Amino acid sequence: MESTREVVESKLSRKKVGIRLLYTIMYLIIFEILKTVIQITAVFQFIYLLITQKYSSPLRNFSNKVATYAYQTIRYVTLNDNHRPFPFHEFPEEMEKPADHVTFE
């Protein structure tokens, strides 16, 4: 027969799983917003590139940070990381710097 302690630990574990599930649902909603932001910045960057024949460095830096944030979000919701992303921690720095030159080959 199960001891009272085992039953209590089981309920606590389910409670923690439930809380993590709620955070995961919130981050999935945030991820959908991030997808839209990335799509808009990509289209805007190409329009800017077609008009000016050069890319926007501030937009490249912003989209690189958003991509890093999206990556952290995916790792959290897929249970590959326990670190809750922004807004519970600082907005992430870039994981990788953008390429020095953009080529169209």
Average pLDDT for residues 41-47, to the nearest whole number?
95
- The per-residue pLDDT of the chain, averaged, comes to 85
Judged on CB neighbours under 10 Å (0-12, 13-18, 19+), 30 is: middle
Residue pair 61/93 in contact by the 8 Å Cβ criterion: no
**pTM, whole model, 2 decimals?**
0.74
> What is the SS3 string spanning 41-98?
HHHHHHHHHHHHCCCCHHHHHHHHHHHHHHHHHHHHHCCCCCCCCCCCCCCCCCCCCC
Look at residue 100 in the predicted model and tell me its pLDDT: 74
